Structure 1
Amino acid sequence: MPEIAFALSTQPIPIEEEALKFEKIPTRIYEDSDAASLYVANEIAQLIRQRQKQGKKAVIGLATGSTPTKMYEYLVRFHREEDLSFKNVVTFNLDEYYPMQPDSIHSYVRFMNEHLFDHIDIPKKNIHIPDGTLEKEDVRDFCKAYEARIREVGGLDIQILGIGRTGHIGFNEPGSSLGSTTRMVRLDRVTRLDAASDFFGLENVPTKAITMGVGTILSARRVIMMAWGEGKSSIIKQAVEGKIRESVPATFLQQHPNCQVIADRAAASSLTRVATPWLVSECHWDDALIKKAAIWLSQKLDTAILKLTNEHYNEYGMGNLVAEIGSAEHLNLKVFNDLQRTITGWPGGKPNADDSSRPERREPYPKRVLIFSPHPDDDVISMGGTLLRLVDQGHQVHVAYQTSGNIAVFDDEVIRFLDFATEVQKENKLLQAQFQEVREFLSRKKPGDVDSPEIQDFKALIRKGEALAACRYCGVPESNAHFMNLPFYQTGTVKKKPYSEADLERTCDLLRELRPHQIFAAGDLSDPHGTHRVCLQIIFQSLERLKAEGADWLKDCYVWLYRGAWQEWDIADMEMAVPIGPKDLERKRNAIFKHQSQKDSAMFPGHDDREFWQRAEQRNKETAERYNALGMAEYEAIEGFVRYHFLPGIPA
């Protein structure tokens, strides 16, 4: 994977002072989590060097989880490439699950060793992490000693935090008091649901943890809370702009004299200055902001776009916009027409038709269409209606399954398929012996254990068979299904490797072979560490490489981004909206049903316990309802897309 130069800008997105009036915690917003992580790593490195010059120790409170991993990566690089020493550093981790063995793949001891401590020169005696192996009766004394040790070394210079969807900091769940100290706590169900994928099921997630208290965190001289992705946007708004209350422990940080929130654009997207900047200051209006403001006002007032008046705009801080445009009627018509042009029943372009106001070109026809699917079911879950429409309209549709998805298959599915294969191959003694080994392994397997290579292969074959069944149902030839098995995914665990040259070359080879006119890809940019985001980074890097090679076919290629099962694009951002009728919605559902191993109960359901087809249908129907409420035509459902402009000079 290409290294990110340290020259990466650590400057936040600029903002006028007036726009900060709703924020009770100073907040810096960055374009992405890489730049934000570099800023935090630089601040920690500066503290360490300053303390070294003073002959003092730097005392740092550390966090775990996906949020700080990039920050730790930068600190390791500073140590290796810039001779940053950690010999004067004393660390205290926020928390640990209880009970928990330090060598478990779920242990924060192991997490910290793998991400930081094993790669730097910090003395082992300077590392402090809550002990998940203690007898229950010993926990209280340990917690008192933990607090005492923090005081002995002079207190925390910096405390690094993430934030949970409940607003917890550390494992201080809703209801934690302002003065709480290090203690054992019971975990909130939402917190356990968020951790379920790491533990291969909610039933395996510990119900308790040892955590620093809110009071301990607030005693630090400096506090930095980091947040990435849209999933954190709602709770960041509450923490930064809301009232201080025990039900959202992160709001206590508003009382700290030296606290700062560091967020990427997605995590900050619900803050008033980002979501509705016209409410905080005068805006510099462009077409995108005009569209966003009019849609917001329409939804706020539950009024169709064409019914908004001058008074409506004036009441909500947009009087200068109406003055610039001339009238509400003129403004409304402009936004209405922009929205109308996004709607098309011809996602591959309509041949022999005027395409000047359509999202896609009429030529060439038929198009070669390449749909990238991070997992073997993302294609039909996220854009199944559009896929069916492309096939029905005669386009040459290919689907590239970027990963095997094998870790999302339950063990029982393997046994079910082996039983079938055993009956078919009763005379094959070699196969029977192999199947017996697999059965014995699964009988001994504990939650979180990594599957053997044979079982990983079996699970991959299960998902491959399901994907082929869905392709056949949708009318995609089996020869047009490409199983890429990108190497970064092949770890057998939730944690993946960084993508490498092998991942890029495999993707470039497929693109060179197909030379598609259209590419569809999962655009879950808000997830900084998940499979979807890594798969998208690989596609983007591959396109940049092919562009540098001078691939002339790229000039005729449009790239469309769809969203995964958990969220949808904002209507203000959608550039193509494909209506789905009742019959096609049923066909989409049936295509999803072909993925039997994900039916009824998925391995990694996230915080939503509905089946994937239910989430997808509701999302598509809600999009159609929102378009209808804005004054557009009424449809059964809609799938939305945003175009990725990777080449300068291509018309939008």
Structure 2
Amino acid sequence: MMNSFRFDPRMSREKIATVVRDNSAAVSCEVAAEIAALIREKAAAGEKAVLGLATGSTPKGVYRELIRMHREEGLSFKNVVTFNLDEYYPMPVDHLQSYVRYMNEQLFDHVDIDRESVHVPDGTLEAREVAGFCAAYERKIAGYGGLDLQILGIGRTGHIGFNEPGSGEESLTRMIWLDEITRQDASGDFFRLENVPHRAITMGVGTIMNAKRVIMMAYGVAKASVIKRAIEGKVTSEVAASFLQGHENAVVYVDRAAAGHLTRFDRPWLVDPTYTWDKNRIIKATIWLAQRLGKPLLKLTDLDYNKNHLQSLIAEHGPAFNINLKVFRHMQGTITGWPGGKPDELKQPGDRKWPNDEVFPKRVIVFSPHPDDDVISMGGTLIRLNDQGHDVHVAYQTSGNIAVFDDDALKFADFAHDFNQLFGIDNEKARSIEAHVEQYLRNKGIGESDSNEIRQIKGLIRRSEARAGCRYCGVPSERVHFLDMPFYETGKVDKKPLGEDDIETVVSFLRKIKPHQIYAAGDLADPHGTHRVCLDAIFEAVECVKDDAWYQACQFLMYRGAWHEWEPESIDMCIPLSPLDVERKRQAIFKHESQKDSAVYPGNDSREFWQRAEERNAETAELYNELGLPEYSAMEAFALYTGDKNYPTRISKSQYTC
């Protein structure tokens, strides 16, 4: 079935059959449907369905869909045998990060599987017992006739299971030392890098390759680079997933963000003989050519286009001078020092027209997923909007309370105690809470969830910092809003799915303010992360208000987080920052003291958030400079929301047709 994909010339560089879907939900439903069909087929034949299962954020949607099918469609797991890919070592089975616990919570506790048919590597063994256990694990798999279907995610190092760089194609179940990148990626689940185990027990590449069918899934822009290496690169032990190129029945399912570096999306003119050139595609190709050759846009020649596989572009829209000038003027038009528009007395005939251009000042909403994303990602623009007199409201979508160190909570509890004593405030409830905080945090285990009282204290810390940051940027307290969306308030890294109450919270706020301009975090890196859930809530809310009169002329812009910037062809507005602007933005970020020096969830980048932001903004300015546009110290970039939540930027939908 999947071999038919390889006859499509657009996929000629892909060495594993690859299916691209709109989003992770679509992938999850499709993969779950295949698993369910296998289970039913085996049951009808009186046979066991032997499944290899994975953990992490990637397969959660698959498990949710299987649970739904069990409850609503009668899908039985009585004939299912499962073998999990891996487990951290050492790891107690009831630990918060245990994969035994993960599988129980995500799947097994909700279906009718026989617990004797469930197999997960044992992280509680003595080290001397592990080799024997691994050999027995392989024998058990073989005893069931091998794995009928193995599902996989992929790590940033290209690992499948915990088969880190250097893992051989013939490797079997074994103990392995974890790569530092893998441990950094896991640090959010363990609250600190030092809490992440250094070892794990994992199925080997050979074990996976022996499965009759393999499905690998990947979501988000953070996986785009490694997906390209695994699918289009050479087979190498440095990217264990690349071994799947040799599997006769392997398929990769990705969302559009994870597919972004594959040739058919990144440089489609190289592989698509029917490629047609619209405005967005011309911009993308011309910028790519300028970057490839290290030339400003206006210096590209006909020969440059012809020698770099862009013959059809120059033939249809040339000469080069015309193409270069159109792209240059487009990029030049994205630069403005007036993000909310100019007052009438300052407007000039050549100024770009925006929605609500006649309105000044504007009501502006800046949505921030956490209580610091606003200043990290668009602090310069936020300050500029306030300096220019706009009515700016900042809406913090979540409390951010799990991203506060316990020491900070203790520090503020000590302050409250001393404050009460200083002013003679003495009551039984205050003393009770003080005692609870002290006792709970002193005895709290690694990864253990906070009590409700401690979450509230940590939430207050983030609120006070957010207000301080807003005051510095010129936003008065009455225009600082805390939405506290319910999906976030679990006290754990794992959040609830987006719910109607979350969406209604955003809808009510939008209708209360009736903004002329909306800014939201458009970070598509992790489809299960807080940023993406918050963005989806805004998308859904906008669907509810899109017929409201005020929204008809509203401008909806998206900024990126501290890790990624918009691709140049997706940028619609770019705000230049002076050295003084950069310093003011830095000071606004510094108001978030609980995130300074060392954050609870630093991600895979060792730099502080202000450093990441400044370097990203400087890189955007340098890109514009290299393209021959005006040179600035730093720039903050934004993309207009297109109205399609599956295609939020100006990338043409036709590029993503499989």
TM bucket, shorter chain: over 0.9
Deviations, residues 157-209 of structure 1 (Å, cap 9, x unaligned): 11101100011110011111111111111111100000001000001001111
Rounded Cα–Cα distance in structure 2 between residues aligned with 1:200 and 1:526: 20
Instruction: Report the counterpart of residue 396 of structure 2 in structure 1.
Output: 401
Instruction: Report the counterpart of residue 286 of structure 2 in structure 1.
Output: 294
Contact 1:385–1:580 (Cα < 8 Å) also in 2: yes
Rounded Cα–Cα distance in structure 2 between residues aligned with 1:359 and 1:96: 53
Rounded Cα–Cα distance in structure 2 between residues aligned with 1:22 and 1:377: 41
Instruction: Report the counterpart of residue 172 of structure 1 in structure 2.
Output: 163
Rounded Cα–Cα distance in structure 2 between residues aligned with 1:242 and 1:534: 32
Shift of 1:520: 0.4
DSSP-derived class of the 1:608 partner: coil
Indicate whether 1:204 and 2:160 are aligned.
Answer: no
Shift of 1:393: 0.7
Instruction: Report the counterpart of residue 118 of structure 2 in structure 1.
Output: 127
Match of 1:265 among 256, 262, 267: 256
Deviations, residues 533-591 of structure 1 (Å, cap 9, x unaligned): 111111111111123xx421111211111011111100110011111111111000000
Rounded Cα–Cα distance in structure 2 between residues aligned with 1:295 and 1:350: 29
Contact 2:355–2:553 (Cα < 8 Å) also in 1: no
Give the root-mean-square deviation of aligned CA atoms. Answer: 1.8
Contact 2:363–2:393 (Cα < 8 Å) also in 1: yes
Rounded Cα–Cα distance in structure 1 between residues aligned with 2:36 and 2:588: 52
Indicate whether 1:322 and 2:325 are aligned.
Answer: no
Rounded Cα–Cα distance in structure 1 between residues aligned with 2:291 and 2:356: 31
Contact 1:350–1:361 (Cα < 8 Å) also in 2: no
Q: Give the letter for the 2:394 counterpart.
A: V
Rounded Cα–Cα distance in structure 2 between residues aligned with 1:119 and 1:362: 54
Contact 1:26–1:259 (Cα < 8 Å) also in 2: yes
DSSP-derived class of the 1:196 partner: helix
Q: Give the letter for the 1:414 counterpart.
A: A
Q: Give the letter for the 2:147 counterpart.
A: L
Rounded Cα–Cα distance in structure 2 between residues aligned with 1:291 and 1:151: 54
Q: Give the letter for the 2:596 counterpart.
A: K
Instruction: Report the counterpart of residue 615 of structure 2 in structure 1.
Output: 618
**Number of residue equivalences:** 637
Once structures 1 and 2 are overlaid, which stretch shifts more, 421-430 or 454-463? 421-430
Instruction: Report the counterpart of residue 367 of structure 2 in structure 1.
Output: 372
DSSP-derived class of the 2:450 partner: coil
Q: Give the letter for the 1:495 counterpart.
A: D
Instruction: Report the counterpart of residue 4 of structure 1 in structure 2.
Output: none
DSSP-derived class of the 1:471 partner: helix
Shift of 1:517: 0.5
Rounded Cα–Cα distance in structure 2 between residues aligned with 1:284 and 1:645: 21
Instruction: Report the counterpart of residue 510 of structure 2 in structure 1.
Output: 511
Instruction: Report the counterpart of residue 8 of structure 1 in structure 2.
Output: none
Instruction: Report the counterpart of residue 172 of structure 2 in structure 1.
Output: 181
Shift of 1:281: 2.6
Deviations, residues 216-252 of structure 1 (Å, cap 9, x unaligned): 0000011111100010011111111111111111111
Indicate whether 1:86 and 2:81 are aligned.
Answer: no
Rounded Cα–Cα distance in structure 1 between residues aligned with 2:306 and 2:270: 11
Shift of 1:32: 1.0
Q: Give the letter for the 2:41 counterpart.
A: Q
Of all paired residues, the percent bearing the same amino acid is 57
Rounded Cα–Cα distance in structure 1 between residues aligned with 2:189 and 2:355: 40
Once structures 1 and 2 are overlaid, which stretch shifts more, 432-441 or 394-403? 432-441
**Structure 2 vs 1, CA of residues 155 and 16 (structure 1 numbering), >3 Å: closer, same or farther?**
closer
Rounded Cα–Cα distance in structure 1 between residues aligned with 2:352 and 2:182: 46
Shift of 1:15: 9.9
Indicate whether 1:391 and 2:391 are aligned.
Answer: no
Contact 1:243–1:251 (Cα < 8 Å) also in 2: yes
Rounded Cα–Cα distance in structure 1 between residues aligned with 2:355 and 2:636: 15
Runs of 4 or more above 3 Å deviation: 358-361
Instruction: Report the counterpart of residue 500 of structure 1 in structure 2.
Output: 499
Contact 1:555–1:647 (Cα < 8 Å) also in 2: no
Instruction: Report the counterpart of residue 418 of structure 1 in structure 2.
Output: 413
**Structure 2 vs 1, CA of residues 546 and 361 (structure 1 numbering), >3 Å: closer, same or farther?**
closer
Contact 1:37–1:71 (Cα < 8 Å) also in 2: yes
Q: Give the letter for the 2:216 counterpart.
A: M
Match of 2:590 among 573, 589, 593: 593
Shift of 1:452: 1.0
Instruction: Report the counterpart of residue 485 of structure 1 in structure 2.
Output: 484
Q: Give the letter for the 1:380 counterpart.
A: V
Rounded Cα–Cα distance in structure 2 between residues aligned with 1:542 and 1:19: 36
Structure 1 portions without partners, runs of 5+: 1-10
Shift of 1:429: 4.5
Q: Give the letter for the 1:253 counterpart.
A: L
Match of 1:346 among 321, 324, 338: 338
Rounded Cα–Cα distance in structure 2 between residues aligned with 1:173 and 1:620: 33
Shift of 1:355: 7.1
TM-score (norm 2): 0.95
Q: Give the letter for the 1:85 counterpart.
A: S
TM-score (norm 1): 0.95
Rounded Cα–Cα distance in structure 1 between residues aligned with 2:105 and 2:493: 15
Instruction: Report the counterpart of residue 313 of structure 1 in structure 2.
Output: 305
Matched ranges for 1:565-584 at <5 A? 565-584=562-581
Deviations, residues 131-182 of structure 1 (Å, cap 9, x unaligned): 1111111111111111001011110111101100011110011111111111
Contact 1:349–1:360 (Cα < 8 Å) also in 2: no
Rounded Cα–Cα distance in structure 2 between residues aligned with 1:645 and 1:218: 42
Instruction: Report the counterpart of residue 357 of structure 2 in structure 1.
Output: 362
DSSP-derived class of the 1:391 partner: helix
DSSP-derived class of the 1:412 partner: helix
Structure 2 portions without partners, runs of 5+: 651-658
